[in-house]
Amino acid sequence: MKRLLLILTLVLTQVAPPVWAVTPDEVLEDPVLEARAREISKGLRCVVCRGENIDESNAGIAKDMRILVRELLTEGKTNDEVMDFVVERYGEFVLMRPTTEGANKLLWAAGPVLFVLALLMAGLWLRARQKASGPGEEALSAEERARLDELIKG
């Protein structure tokens, strides 16, 4: 379980450690196809692990999934077709990169929307600050004005 970086998780869940992910016997002969397999594997989550992709995982099921991906690629399927096939079989859960369908739009939009809102608010506030004369900077209190008048007259 390579992702369990921090001590607490390691402590709270007794898990198998990393030893090997991709083993030499899985590697495809064709380097281009193998590179594609690695790329796809990085986007697929191992279903029994905690947030690990199948490329890093040592779990048996991850190995099965890696072999499945390689078989599908050897059959001549495109990257997208392989992804679709695996998602069909194991569910949306295996996608490391969430889709943009349905409620997930909220997830993807959260950052940009928050950023634009924050910029707008900051912009308005900055404009106000630009115009406002802060207390203590220019404005005099009644008391101070009286004292000033006194000095000028004096």
The residue ranges that bind other proteins (CB under 8 A) are 2-14, 16-25, 27, 42-43, 45, 50-51, 53, 56, 91-99, 102-104, 107-108, 110-111, 114-115, 118-119, 122, 126-127, 129-130, 132-137
CB atoms within 10 A of CB 82: 21
Q: Which residue shows structure tokens 């709270």?
A: 12
Closest to other proteins by CB, 12 or 151: 12
Q: How far is the CB of 65 from other proteins (least distance, A)?
A: 14
Q: What is the DSSP track for 93-116?
A: GGBSS--SSTTHHHHHHHHHHHHH
Closest to other proteins by CB, 23 or 74: 23
Closest to other proteins by CB, 103 or 151: 103
Closest to other proteins by CB, 76 or 111: 111
Closest to other proteins by CB, 135 or 154: 135
Q: How far is the CB of 88 from other proteins (least distance, A)?
A: 15
* φ/ψ bin of 151: left (φ > 0), alpha (ψ from -120 to 50), beta (otherwise): alpha
Characterize 142-152 residue by residue with b for buried, 16 or more Cβ atoms within 10 angstroms of its Cβ, and e for exposed. eeeeeeeeeee
Q: How far is the CB of 6 from other proteins (least distance, A)?
A: 4
Q: 129 by DSSP, 3-state: which? A: helix
Q: Are 151 and 143 in contact (CB under 8 A)?
A: no
Structure tokens at 151: 């000095």
The DSSP call for residue 44 is B
Q: How far is the CB of 27 from other proteins (least distance, A)?
A: 6
Q: How far is the CB of 149 from other proteins (least distance, A)?
A: 21
